[in-house]
């Protein structure tokens, strides 16, 4: 089985203070890193963050996505709505993420919510993880003032330090059949996962907090932080928000809920960078990789070597995840030829 890099985000290192000195971080940046490594989240207040964004118009433009009771979500509206795109790519957010992870962040998914989700406690690492591990996070932006009556976000500080747990770790049966929510087996396994995580949250000793924040404030959370949506005490009130998920360069994104890690088979994600709309090139700490099919819609992950390695590093995004070195080389040649003809 392929051995993957053991790299972790720099803020997790024991010698992080010395590394912060090497990186020349300011006292404010050091305080952000210290809080994030301790708690697994940050609340960043910036009264000007939405000043030049038509955030209020989002709900008119996306109205068809929500029920009369405010339920539902608008997924990946960034491709059509300039305000959603602007929030996902906001420099104030990206700058903090660069400090925390020391790599370039790229947004790959947006979710807009009119009301509180009341989603049960979970870790995002069941939905999105990476190789090397740890290079994924979420950002929750309040698009109106949020009180504890509107179904606020809840979270368990420090829980990001728990092991990343997938279905195999928790004794949840693997999903059989299509890799998606249309498959009823997906929902069955995920419901059992939620029950196991709820028990873990109760038994772990971590204290649950709820988030009441002002419009324009954003929460950054580590992928492995236990969190969810609290009940809506006042169902007449909205809780307008946007969640954006980010990966970082030098990582291979995959979906653990459909993967079989112990078998070396992964549900690898082929994603677009919200900033540019271009396909993201997965790599293992900069080493190009290929993804042989290995049954059930899953892929193996194999580092590239030799000339394929060298060419893949300069070729740019693949339109299709390459299955073999030959395919990677062929895509590289086609892309270089296309550039030369332009």
Short-list 230, 8, 242, CA closest to 121: 230
As a whole number, mean pLDDT of residues 198-220 equals: 92
What count of other Cβ atoms lies within 10 Å of the Cβ of residue 66? 18
Flag whether pLDDT at 317 surpasses 70. Answer: no
Please tell me the predicted confidence (pLDDT) of residue 232. 85
Flag whether pLDDT at 339 surpasses 90. Answer: no
Angle at 94 between CA 88 and CA 95, to 5 degrees: 155
Alpha carbon distance 4, 112 (integer Å): 34
Beta bridge partners of 289: 303
Alpha carbon distance 273, 144 (integer Å): 27
**Cβ distance 300 to 294 under 8 Å?**
yes
Q: How confident is the model at residue 311 (pLDDT cuts 50, 70, 90)?
A: low
Q: How confident is the model at residue 58 (pLDDT cuts 50, 70, 90)?
A: very high
Containing H/E element for 179?
none
Flag whether pLDDT at 310 surpasses 80. Answer: no
Distances (CA, A) of 62 to 25, 59, 89, 111, 328: 40, 5, 19, 11, 39
As a whole number, mean pLDDT of residues 137-156 equals: 92
Instruction: Quote the percentage of the chain above a pLDDT of 70.
Output: 91
Alpha carbon distance 195, 231 (integer Å): 17
* Stretch among 18-32, 225-239, 320-334 having the lowest mean pLDDT: 320-334
Flag whether pLDDT at 47 surpasses 90. Answer: no
Flag whether pLDDT at 316 surpasses 70. Answer: no
Please tell me the predicted confidence (pLDDT) of residue 5. 75
Residue 64, SS3 per DSSP: helix
Distances (CA, A) of 329 to 255, 288, 322, 341: 26, 11, 9, 18
Q: How confident is the model at residue 319 (pLDDT cuts 50, 70, 90)?
A: low
Q: What is the CATH number of domain 10-253?
A: 2.60.120.620
Residue 79, burial from CB neighbour count under 10 angstroms (0-12, 13-18, 19+): exposed
As a whole number, mean pLDDT of residues 83-87 equals: 97
**Cβ distance 168 to 262 under 8 Å?**
yes
């Amino acid at each position: 089985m392929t051995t993957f890099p053991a790299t972790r985000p720099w803020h997790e290192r024991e010698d992080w203070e010395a590394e912060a000195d090497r990186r020349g971080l300011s006292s404010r940046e050091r305080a952000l890193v210290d809080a994030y490594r301790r708690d697994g989240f940050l609340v960043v207040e910036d009264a000007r963050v939405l000043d030049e964004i038509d955030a209020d118009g989002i709900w008119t433009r996306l109205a068809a996505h929500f029920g009369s009771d405010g339920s539902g979500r608008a997924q990946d509206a960034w491709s059509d709505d300039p305000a959603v795109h602007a929030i996902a790519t906001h420099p104030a957010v990206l700058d903090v993420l660069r400090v925390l992870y020391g790599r370039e962040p790229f947004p790959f998914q947006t979710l807009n919510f009119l009301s509180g989700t009341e989603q049960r406690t979970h870790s995002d690492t069941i939905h999105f993880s990476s190789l090397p591990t740890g290079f994924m996070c979420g950002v929750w932006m309040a698009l109106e003032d949020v009180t504890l009556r509107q179904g606020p976000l809840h979270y368990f500080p420090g829980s990001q330090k728990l092991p990343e747990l997938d279905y195999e770790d928790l004794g949840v049966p693997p999903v059989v059949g299509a890799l998606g929510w249309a498959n009823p087996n997906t929902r069955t396994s995920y419901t059992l996962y939620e029950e196991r995580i709820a028990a873990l949250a109760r038994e772990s000793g971590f204290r649950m907090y709820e988030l009441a924040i002002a419009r324009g404030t954003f929460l950054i959370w580590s992928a492995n932080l236990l969190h969810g949506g609290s009940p809506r005490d006042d169902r007449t009130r909205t809780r307008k928000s946007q969640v954006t998920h980010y990966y970082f360069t030098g990582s291979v994104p995959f979906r653990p809920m459909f993967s079989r890690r112990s078998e070396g088979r992964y549900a690898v994600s082929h994603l677009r960078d919200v900033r540019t709309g271009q396909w993201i090139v997965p790599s293992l700490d900069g080493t190009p990789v290929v993804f042989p099919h290995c049954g059930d819609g899953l892929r193996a992950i194999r580092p590239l070597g030799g000339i394929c390695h060298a060419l893949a590093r300069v070729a740019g995004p693949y339109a299709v995840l390459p299955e073999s070195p030959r395919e990677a080389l062929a895509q590289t040649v086609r892309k270089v030829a296309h550039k030369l003809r332009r």
